[in-house]
């Protein structure tokens, strides 16, 4: 299915669809308009492309397919947006990153687990790759995603991989506030790739601490020395800042997205900036919140995108 002949076939079909798309759209609009009750004058957009009398031909435009169900065509609803290499039964083309077989998540599960039967809250699932891994290890996952197109890709992956997980469209801190108000607890929270996209990562970790005794994080962090010698990164940062939580102040640095959000595959935060917490401040915050067993791995001060680390944080008295 992913062969070059198959891909050439799809390109030819796509070109054919494009060639017939404008008249087909006119026909489709005409038929829809004809089936609707008359509406108030001026309420219908009968612009310059208004349909003509021709009702012949297929009712097919870019909202419809004439083809039988096909996994690749389903993935192609989000062509160019995928980050995850979606593990389908037959070979398909999606994104470049093997997020459904991610060593960081294997490590989380090894250190925290076994997680069989656990309730896990995942923040920022993107396309459900980590969700699938957590579920394969036996967890019941609720995953909260704020980007609406990423959320729809999560649903598509849930369908393709037959996941039980619940994906929620919404903002992670608001969801945690709701969980706190409802008295909900989780066996673990997984927050991979999200803290450095938030304007207040301290508020996020503080909420996690109200909901669970076990946290797994992968994040970029600010480290003044490293950033100062990384000229490629230095321009992405503005002023140093402090965030408060757990009765103390924690240092960080304002990070600017610049043009990145314009890319169709952008999977960051919803604001023009975020705050990267200082590496030491993150570890201090977790200690202040009662996590006395903190393990660090994938510690990459020279990560291409900026200093990064994975950690698990556990309150050992549980
Ligand atoms: C860099 S991706 C990380 C994806 C995946 N968890 C991983 O580690 O590879 C960040 C994800 O978090 C989502 N996100 C960013 N800010 C969020 C927020 N405030 N609430 C919920 N999701 C958010 C983004 O839309 C994106 O899907």
Answer whether 77's CB lies under 8 Å from 156's CB. Answer: yes
Q: Is 199 in the pocket of ligand 1 (CB under 6 A)?
A: no
Cα 137 from chain centroid (whole Å): 20
Q: Indicate which residue's Cα is closest to atom 3 of ligand 1.
A: 193
The minimum-distance atom of ligand 1 relative to the CA of 172 is 20
For the segment 8-49, what is each residue's pLDDT rounded down to a tens digit? 333 333 333 333 333 333 333 333 333 333 334 334 444 444
Q: What is the pLDDT of residue 55?
A: 54
d(CA 12, CA 83): 25
Q: Indicate which residue's Cα is closest to atom 11 of ligand 1.
A: 124
For the segment 63-113, what is each residue's pLDDT rounded down to a tens digit? 899 999 999 999 999 999 999 999 999 999 999 999 999 999 999 999 999
For the segment 168-227, what is each residue's pLDDT rounded down to a tens digit? 999 999 999 999 999 999 999 999 999 999 999 999 999 999 999 999 999 999 999 999
Q: Is 83 in the pocket of ligand 1 (CB under 6 A)?
A: no
Q: Is 126 in the pocket of ligand 1 (CB under 6 A)?
A: yes
Q: Is 267 in the pocket of ligand 1 (CB under 6 A)?
A: yes
Structure tokens at 164: 């039980």
For the segment 278-308, what is each residue's pLDDT rounded down to a tens digit? 999 999 999 999 999 999 999 999 999 999 9
Model pTM score? 0.83
Distance 35 CA to ligand 1 centre (A): 42
Which residues face 249 on adjacent strands? 244
- The preferred substitution site among 83, 86, 126 for testing ligand 1, maximizing ligand atoms within 8 Å of CB, is 126
Domains contained in the chain, CATH given: 4-63 (no CATH), 99-314 (3.40.50.150)
Q: Is 219 in the pocket of ligand 1 (CB under 6 A)?
A: no
Q: Indicate which residue's Cα is closest to atom 1 of ligand 1.
A: 193
């Amino acid at each position: 299915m992913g062969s070059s002949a198959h891909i050439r076939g799809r390109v030819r079909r796509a070109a054919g669809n494009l060639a017939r798309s404008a008249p087909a759209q006119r026909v489709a609009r005409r038929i829809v308009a004809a089936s609707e009750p008359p509406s108030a004058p001026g309420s219908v957009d009968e612009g310059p492309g208004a349909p003509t009398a021709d009702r012949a031909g297929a009712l097919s435009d870019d909202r419809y397919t004439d083809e039988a169900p096909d996994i690749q065509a389903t993935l192609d609803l989000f062509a160019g947006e995928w980050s995850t290499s979606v593990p389908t039964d037959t070979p398909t083309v999606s994104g470049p990153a093997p997020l459904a077989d991610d060593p960081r998540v294997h490590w989380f599960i090894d250190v925290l687990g076994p997680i069989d039967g656990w309730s896990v809250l995942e923040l920022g699932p993107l396309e459900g790759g980590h969700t699938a891994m957590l579920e394969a290890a036996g967890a019941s996952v609720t995953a909260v995603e704020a980007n609406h197109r990423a959320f729809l890709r999560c649903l598509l992956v849930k369908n393709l991989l037959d996941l039980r997980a619940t994906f929620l469209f919404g903002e992670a801190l608001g969801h945690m506030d709701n969980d706190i108000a409802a008295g909900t607890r989780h066996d673990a929270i997984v927050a991979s790739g999200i803290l450095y996209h938030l304007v207040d990562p301290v508020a996020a970790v503080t909420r996690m601490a109200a909901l669970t005794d076990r946290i797994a994080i992968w994040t970029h962090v600010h480290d003044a020395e490293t950033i100062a010698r990384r000229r490629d990164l230095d321009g992405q940062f503005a002023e140093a800042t402090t965030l408060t939580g757990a009765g103390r102040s924690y240092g960080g640095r304002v990070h600017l997205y610049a043009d990145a959000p314009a890319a169709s595959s952008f999977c960051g935060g919803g604001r023009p900036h975020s705050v990267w917490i200082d590496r030491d401040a993150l570890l201090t915050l977790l200690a202040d919140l009662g996590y006395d067993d903190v393990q660090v791995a994938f510690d990459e001060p020279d990560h291409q995108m900026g200093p990064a680390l994975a950690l698990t944080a556990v309150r050992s008295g549980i």
